[in-house]
Amino acid sequence: MPDLGPHAIYILAAYAVTFVALGVLAFMIVEDDRKQRRTLAELEARGIRRRSAGKMKRTKRS
Amino acid sequence: MIGLANPTRFLALVERLVPWLAGTTIIMLAVGLYLALFVAPPDYQQGETVRIMFVHVPAAWLAMGGYALIAIASLGTLIWRHPLADVAAKAAAPIGATFTFIALVTGSLWGKPMWGTYWVWDARLTSVLVLFLLYLGLIALWQAIEEPGRAGRAAAILALVGAVNLPIIKFSVDWWNTLHQPASVLRAGGPTIDPSLLTPLFVMAIAFALLFATLHLIAMRAEILRRRVRALQQTHVAHAALAEAEA
Amino acid sequence: MKAALVLLRRDIKLAWREGGAIGVALGFYLVVIAMMPLGLGPDLNLLSRIAPGILWVALLLAALLSAGRIFANDYEDGSLDVLTTGPLPLPAVAATKCLAHWLTTGIPLVLLGPFLGLLLNLPIGTSLSLVLAMLAGTPAVSFIAGIGASLTLGLRRSGLLIALLVLPLYVPVLIFGVAAVTPYVTGPRSLWAPLLMLAALSLAAIVLAPFAAAAAVRNALR
């Protein structure tokens, strides 16, 4: 890291805020995506599935 | 676009694209950070603080780009009735809002050493603040309406109203700012940017844009799945109630 | 046209009979203005300098307070359903309702403005420009409020939500409205430029907002 001069704290703070904010955003989105996939899988495991999904399988088999 | 109208096909595409997009994003971010913090020379007027520009300016670009994306998707919802348009708009709002927030905070941190204060009511800062408020309104409206279809159309109307208003707001804020221009706003550093600063700027901009695209696709997938879960739970509850009534 | 007049008369009569709503908006306007010197200190020079801004911001808030009423009552008792199938096109219905809001809330607030200006030591000479600016700007306030009201039909906490959705859209009205009144910007030209801008904003809102509001109403009734 080069010498960032007298205002180093502002520069580092700007980068820190940027990457913390993006990190939190990415974490929340990925976590939400995982949660939805898990719930959907659970529902399907309990035999609750979408009619259109069932239809697709049937047409494939026939 | 027509092929993508089928959510199942879209989900398959997301599945294939996301690993590649995420990988490229990480590489570009690493290269961009290295260029921005280690390679780029300090500006002759702003000194080292010019490094804040490499996160500030791309974030501001994506803040505006995100709203443009939402506005176009809103047209897709209201006019072409594309089934993924409101999913795209809803998924883009928190990402755009985050980039707007980053643009505001880094701008403020850049302002302290340059202007001597964290916040000045500079025309550009003020416009970005209003943009942030518009994002917050959109997100709040989405959360307030239960039914996804209605929420999507209401948010699309609001987004288009905002898109029509943004140029007027920008114009009025510029006008207001020239009316009572505080002395401290006279910015050091002219409009010209040295080419040695342009490369890191563009690399960071591409990296941020790739990150936006990656997160957007994942958020869209999450939204599509959320709607499926919601539909399944509703029909399940309805079936259960029906069975109970018969028994 | 006749149907619009009938609807307008009905809405004004309802707002009048309800009475409370107009009174509450005026009372709210008074309270906000009365709180300001208590927060800022009794320095009359400071107050007269910031009076235009305070008067405008308080007016926007007071107008928003009653904005939910534009469609909500008719939504709840089902008359909005009837109106969508009636002879009048839905954008015309929306425009009429926004106009009724302007007549029953906007104009009373505007007329109260100069008197509240006295509390803030706003020079009497600026009263005329204050009223003119508010008359030119408040149609935009009512019509944009109509968009917020239609988008939040039937939602919980719709009042707060309307404020969040609509206040950012009021930025141009606020800027030009204050510029028209700011006393130290003197000369006729400095009054006319913002005044014409306010009129332009209002015209644009009158033309465009009813379509957005109509689309939102249709969406809420679906």
Tens of pLDDT, residues B232-241 = 888 877 777 8
Q: Which letter does DSSP use for residue B80 in this model?
A: I
Q: Where are the domains of chain A?
A: 27-62
| Nearest-neighbour CA in chain C from B179: distance (Å) | 9
Query: What is the C-alpha separation between B73 and B82, in angstroms, rounded?
Result: 9
- The verdict on residue B187 lying in a domain is no
Least confident of B207-216, C21-30, C195-204: C21-30
- pLDDT: which is higher, B181 or C131: C131
Distances (CA, A) of B202 to B31, B61, C202: 11, 11, 41
Each residue of B106-151: pLDDT tens digit? 988 888 887 788 888 877 888 899 999 999 999 999 999 888 888 9
User: Does the CB of B79 have a partner CB in chain C at under 8 Å?
Assistant: no
More confident: A53 or B71: B71
Query: Which residues pair with residue A22 across a beta bridge?
Result: none
Cross-chain residue pair C164–B164, CB shorter than 8 Å: no
pLDDT, residue A59, reads 41
CB contact under 8 A, A2 and B94: no
Q: Does A20 touch chain B (CB under 8 A)?
A: no
- pLDDT digits 0-9 by tens, B62-87: 999 999 999 999 999 998 888 889 99
Could you list the residue range(s) of the whole structural domain that residue C70 is in?
Answer: 2-221
Q: How far apart are CA C22 and CA A10, in angstroms?
A: 51
Q: Give chain B's domain count.
A: 1
Q: Tell me whether residues A5 and B51 touch, CB distance under 8 A.
A: no
**A11: number of Cβ within 10 Å:** 25
Q: What are phi and psi of C25, to 5 degrees?
A: -60, -45
Tell me if B88 is assigned to some domain. Answer: yes
Q: Which two tokens stand for residue B82?
A: 């594309």
Of A10, A18, A40, the CB nearest to B228: A40
Paired tokens of B241:
């109630």
Q: How many residues can be counted in chain B? A: 247
Sort out which chain C residues have CB atoms less than 8 A from B169's CB and list them.
168-169, 171-172
Distance CA B198, CA B200 (A): 6
The pLDDT value recorded for residue A52 is 52
pLDDT at B187 over 80: no
B145 has a chain C CB within 8 A of its CB:
yes
C37 touches chain B (CB under 8 A): no
Query: Rounded to an integer, what distance in angstroms lies between the CA atom of residue B50 and that of residue B200?
Result: 11
User: Torsion angle of alpha carbons B69, B70, B73, B78, nearest 10°?
Assistant: -150
- Tell me which chain B residues have a C-beta less than 8 angstroms from the C-beta of C204: 168
Q: Which of B160, B161, B172 sits opposite C175 (nearest CB)?
A: B172
Token couple for C61: 């808030």
In a domain, B185, yes or no: no
Q: Which residue range is the domain that position B23 belongs to?
A: 3-180+196-246
pLDDT confidence bin for B4, thresholds 50/70/90: low
Report CB contact under 8 Å: C167, B173: no
B162/B159 Cα distance (integer angstroms): 5
pLDDT attached to residue B175 = 81
Mean of the per-residue pLDDT values of chain C:
87
How many separate domains does chain C show? 1
* pTM of this prediction exceeds 0.90: no
